[in-house]
Amino acid sequence: MDVVGGGSGEEEEVEVGSGGDQQQQEQPPMEIGWPTDVRHVAHVTFDRFHGFQGLPVELQPEVAGNAPSASKTVFGVSTESMQCSYDARGNSVPTILLLMQRRLYDQAGLRAEGIFRIAADDAQEQSVREQLNSGVLPEAGVDVHCLAGLIKAWFRELPGGMLDSLPAAEVTRCQSPEDCARLCDRLPAAKAALLDWAVHLMADVAREEKSNKMSSRNVAMVFAPNMTQAMDPLTALKHAVHVMNFLTMLIDRALNHGATSTSTSVASHAPPPNQH
């Protein structure tokens, strides 16, 4: 460091310089090689509603398949905007339906006489609906008929109707469970999974017919008006009869296959609503 003083001694200018004997050492350039043995295994995409799409099977258990809910309510919204979980049959179903189903089963609702037929108290149903819409799962002890009524209401308010994408004439022409199953294959994937879950729920109810007095036809009868949204009341009534027959055959098919539904299980990656 060199110091140069002014003549008056009042001001000093300080110059700082690097020593001549200190040479900056040059670092050798880093070489990054190109990837080797690259193979295009799969094209994977991700979006907020569907999660990962195209994920290889061997990686699927490692990654949650469904994105968090993008909706503030659970009634009157499409499945694409709701948080979903997988049931034991591999169907992607809105988590809130699985949670209501689990509560219904835990409280022996399947054995309750007239389940899905008897209406619940209006005030309680409205209260529970508001809690569910705010992300709260009510405490145990909610009337099982209230839970059943809200499950039906969820289908009734589903945008586009559960079965309205199927031509009414073809629903009418179904004469066997196999005809119905083939027609179900034409549903969009999300609704096909939802219908499979619903049919097995109805089959579980029908299995307890001795206790609940709800045969497969009775269960289909109370669900049918909630699976379509035809505008004209007379048309809706006529179509509901055909939908009832359609559902009855699907329920009987599920019963004949003999597998007890375990669709109450909720995927571990889907957190339940807050419980109060």
In this structure, what DSSP letter does residue 226 have?
G
Q: 69 in a domain, yes or no?
A: yes
Q: 258 in a domain, yes or no?
A: yes
Q: At 233, which helix (H) or strand (E)? A: helix 233-257
Q: 58 in a domain, yes or no?
A: no
In this structure, what DSSP letter does residue 205 have?
H
pLDDT tens-place values along the chain, 276 residues long: 444 444 444 444 444 444 445 455 666 666 666 767 767 667 666 543 445 667 676 666 544 444 444 455 789 888 888 889 999 889 999 999 999 999 999 999 999 999 999 999 999 999 999 999 887 877 778 999 999 999 999 999 999 899 999 999 999 999 999 999 999 999 999 999 999 999 999 999 999 999 999 999 999 999 999 998 866 777 778 888 999 999 999 999 999 986 544 444 333 334 444 444
Q: 21 in a domain, yes or no?
A: no
The CATH number assigned to the domain holding 244 equals 1.10.555.10
Residue 193: which domain range?
Answer: 63-267
Q: 24 in a domain, yes or no?
A: no
Q: Which two tokens stand for residue 20?
A: 């001549």
Domains of the chain: total: 1
Q: 28 in a domain, yes or no?
A: no
For residue 53, the model assigns a pLDDT of 64
**Whole-prediction pTM value?**
0.69
Q: 151 in a domain, yes or no?
A: yes
What CA–CA distances, in Å, run from 123 to 17, 86, 130, 133, 154?
A: 85, 32, 11, 15, 17
Q: 49 in a domain, yes or no?
A: no
